[in-house]
Structure 1
């Protein structure tokens, strides 16, 4: 596997030699001082180019970066699907190489760069041929810090979580595994994650990021809460799935109550109690 130094040298050498590329900057985890580097990190690179059409006309230019396993062009796919997107202003190439390295390379025009450069706090300039990249603060993950909830947001999260756990339970009782799992993972877990985010945020004065899909939970949650979180993942077994659902409810209540205390909100205690009675009845009637 090529080293990070080799990859960065390659990325910049390609840019320096191509007159169409006028500037280069990087986003993503490799710019985040709070993330421990590893070999699986992507290279989130932006090439500021004079125009994009010539790159699109000859797609073979990307092979300069190495032997590919696969490439994805999300903007081109959107265009093919009839989704309105201007690929002449911004166009991405997501490339996975045989040595395990991955470059997520986006081409943007100068106009597009002027609209977005520096708005992501995880931005590091790498090359500027024409002096177009303005001075920006040192990279931090501030753009990704958890935002404090309003009372309405908190209530909505609690209400939706408690309402939707019944749908999961009904799906399990009917042996409708795809429905039950999808309802849990897509709807219920989203609310669970939101509450966990708020709990973690409240413990760090809302100056912390939990990463995409909570990927830093293990580092940010105390062992007891992390242990509960792990148990929210279950097999296809109906009894085990019910237990995971119950555990998710327990975890949600614990973090939600503490978030409520911090922000002087009120948790839906009575609704939670009644829903747990209802879930227990379904569990005993249909699974035991």
Structure 2
């Protein structure tokens, strides 16, 4: 696997040798001093170019970065159309394990090449096109203290969607039940957990994309509980995951509301828990745990 230094040299030499590339910027995890470094970190690179089109007309120029294992070009896709902004991106994973997410940005957008992201650094600027940046910081990604309304919305979404899961399980529609359980209920549980750890750290931390650093701030007990909510391979495990999520969410919501002097509709929660319990017991004479 090529080293980090070799990759940076390749990225910068490519830009220096091509007159069409006017500047190079980098954003993402490699600009964040708080993120642990490992071999899976992407090189999130932006080339500010005189004109994007010539690069697209002959794309052999990207071959110099190495033999690709797989590549995706979002702006060229039909099923997953990106935002039309005049840029073009190459997401490239190479056979040696390195990955470059390389975006071509037209010079007309040089002043906003990083789209306001403060996790950004300038690596090369041939013509002094780019605005001066402050030191890279992940502050924009810190957990933000919720308002009373946001807290109530989170709770209502969790309890409301729980009833969809119950309906799907009672019908034995496991795919239907699993989707809202994972995509909605669990996400609201993660949101609430992130608010909790945010409060415990004065809202000066980030839990990362898809809550990936959240376990670092949880107790062993809460981590184990969270992992158990991911067991969804059959109907019984789906029921158990739903019940565990409900109990965990209810306890957290009560604690968090007291900490922040928020209103919390505990009656709504108790009714949905009772509704779940009723249908779980009726289903196959199971015992509600």
Fold shared per TM-score above 0.5: yes
* In structure 2, distance between residues paired with 1:286 and 1:176: 13
2:121 to 118, 124, 133: 124
Whether the aligned pair in 1 keeps the contact of 2:27 and 2:114 (CA below 8 Å) is: no
* In structure 2, distance between residues paired with 1:33 and 1:19: 32
Whether the aligned pair in 2 keeps the contact of 1:49 and 1:109 (CA below 8 Å) is: yes
Q: Cα RMSD between the aligned structures? A: 1.7
Q: How does 1:53-202 map to 2 (within 5 A)?
A: 53-77=53-77, 85-86=84-85, 89-117=86-114, 119-202=116-199
* In structure 2, distance between residues paired with 1:261 and 1:110: 52
Q: Find the residue that maps to 2:77 and give its secondary structure.
A: helix
Residue by residue, what CA displacement relative to the aligned partner does 1:257-287 show, whole Å, maximum 9, x if unpaired?
Answer: 2321232112221111221121111111114
Q: Report the TM-score, using the length of structure 2 for normalisation.
A: 0.93
* In structure 1, distance between residues paired with 2:81 and 2:98: 31
Q: Find the residue that maps to 1:149 and give its secondary structure.
A: coil
Residue by residue, what CA displacement relative to the aligned partner does 1:113-164 show, whole Å, maximum 9, x if unpaired?
Answer: 2134472111011111111222222111112111221111111110110011
* In structure 1, distance between residues paired with 2:180 and 2:61: 43
Structure 2 regions of 5+ residues with no counterpart? Answer: none
Q: Find the residue that maps to 2:150 and give its secondary structure.
A: helix
Q: Report the TM-score, using the length of structure 1 for normalisation.
A: 0.94
- Give the number of aligned pairs: 285
Q: 1:82 to 1:198 in 2, by over 3 A?
A: closer
Whether the aligned pair in 1 keeps the contact of 2:42 and 2:101 (CA below 8 Å) is: yes
Between 193-202 and 252-261, report the one with greater CA deviation. 252-261
The aligned counterpart of 2:280 is 283
Q: Find the residue that maps to 1:70 and give its secondary structure.
A: strand
Q: 1:42 to 1:117 in 2, by over 3 A?
A: closer
* In structure 2, distance between residues paired with 1:204 and 1:233: 26
